[in-house]
Structure 1
Amino acid sequence: MLIVKPGANDASDLEPTDEQLPAIDAEEIEPRFRAVAGRGGERRGIRLERIYWDGLGRMSASGKMSTADLVHYTASQMPESGNLASLLRVLSLKWALCRLDTVEDISSLANVNAIIQASPSPAILLTHEKKVQLFNDAFLSMLRQRLPLGDLAQLTKSLRFSIDTQIEEAIATLSRNKGKTLATGFTITVGTQSMKGQINLALAPTHEKSMLIGYISRY
């Protein structure tokens, strides 16, 4: 069924699930000691949990420097009363959160909508629950040309959209084959009228939940 605007989440949607919260191994919370040597030969012994060492490693790689240089630069900026291990933990998490903010902004529903609207061919955003979350003007024009439609309110109540491939299977296939698309058939039904065609599916660049962008190639 075509859905223009998602409904509000109920209370159960706010409860964390196993998929939302990562599992933590005992090794991950055990601090690991490393002796870090800077360019000048100065050595510092640091104890941090593995996740923070991983974060510092990714941060230093992004800045094209060694982890040792990053540690020693951070130490040079630390006030005399500061704790270097604590400062490195905060630095690692803050960097990760900044990166997360950037990614979430890029993969926002507003940006996905812009991608769909920019397509000259009929395009939709299909949710894991088999609902059309968004569509562009070309999609609406296609419907009006091929099917007897009333106003938009009537459209949202009576139109049904389905694809020949199970949506769970489509998402799983595209998740395994990064950068690939999947061609399949589709059917649109309005009352007793229906139309069929071909649609090209791709994983939507969203972080909220798994969704598919569909570009209709033939109808």
Structure 2
Amino acid sequence: MTDDLMSTFESMIERAHTDASEPFFRAVTTEDGRRALRLEGSFWKALEFISREYQVTVGEIISCVERAHLNDKNLASGVRHVCIHALAEQIEETRTWFSSTSIQNLLNATPAPAFVLSQSRQIKFTNQAFLKYVRTNFVAMDPQRETPSLRLHIDTPMEELFERLNENQNRPITVGFAMGMNDRRVRGSINAMLAPEWRHQMLLGFVVS
């Protein structure tokens, strides 16, 4: 596991509060009446999530698990299995929408010049419109060959921009930028968003001027 992925995983572990690992009893109404189950707080939270996703009650979930006979000797174990299976299935379905391929497809679909920056301000992805934008502003240079040496600076500090986007549910923020190649420098503005990538925070910029 790379250092950045390990850091992301460790942050996830830190968010898994210890009190959520403590099991406790909770009574729910099922088809057969009131049932009391002893589950860890994280599993009760997972049941609430599944309840919202499938628009069923927690009691109906437990009744379905019981009818399926996933574990006749231990209903709580069967419920835990369903929670893990449902969440893993949800992750598998959504992961394709939050990947490098998804980012590149998104850039390719937009007619505006667009790019993606890593937290260290490295250009990770571009589209053809951005390469044309570079070619227009840096005459007589081959953008396919020159893009790796392209310098791009965002006026707002990256850490601050990431924080603002996270706080505002990724509502686009218009910020200035400067782009340089060799001795030439160009200024403009972008609509900035968080790129759809679940492992790394990256900045998606659409050039607007």
**How large is the RMSD of aligned CA atoms in angstroms?**
2.1
Corresponding position: 1:65 with 2:51: no
Choose 209-218 or 26-35, whichever is displaced more: 26-35
1:141 aligns to 2:121 (yes or no):
no
Is the counterpart of residue 187 in structure 1 residue 164 in structure 2?
no
CA distance in 2, matches of 1:212, 1:67: 38
Deviation string, structure 1 residues 81-107 (Cα, Å, up to 9, x no partner): 542111111111111111112221111
* Greater mean alpha carbon deviation, residues 20-29 or residues 131-140: 20-29
Q: Can you give the 5+ residue segments of structure 1 that lack an aligned partner in the other structure?
A: 1-8
Moved over 6 A (4+): none
Q: 2:31 aligns with which of 25, 33, 39?
A: 39
Report the counterpart of residue 124 of structure 1 in structure 2.
Answer: 115
What SS does the corresponding residue of 1:106 show, helix, strand or coil?
Answer: coil
Pairing of 1:75-114 with structure 2 (within 5 A):
75-78=66-69, 81-114=72-105
TM-score using structure 1 length: 0.85
Question: Unmatched 5+ residue regions in structure 2?
Answer: none
Deviation sequence 1:137-165 (CA, Å, 0-9, x none) = 11111111110413623431x21111111
| TM-score normalised by the chain length of structure 2 | 0.89
Deviation sequence 1:116-136 (CA, Å, 0-9, x none):
111111100111110111011
Instruction: Decide which structure has greater helix share.
Output: 2
2:196 and 2:177 map into 1 onto residues whose CA distance is: 22
Q: CA deviation at 1:47?
A: 0.8
CA displacement, residues 43-82 of structure 1 (integer Å, 9 cap, x when unaligned): 3331111111111122122222211121122112116754
What is the aligned residue count?
Answer: 207
Give yes or no for the alignment of 1:21 onto 2:13.
yes
Distance 1:128 1:155 in 2: 18
2:145 aligns with 153
Taking structure 1 as reference, are residues 155 and 88 closer, same or farther at Cα in structure 2, changes over 3 Å only?
A: same
Partner of 1:3: none
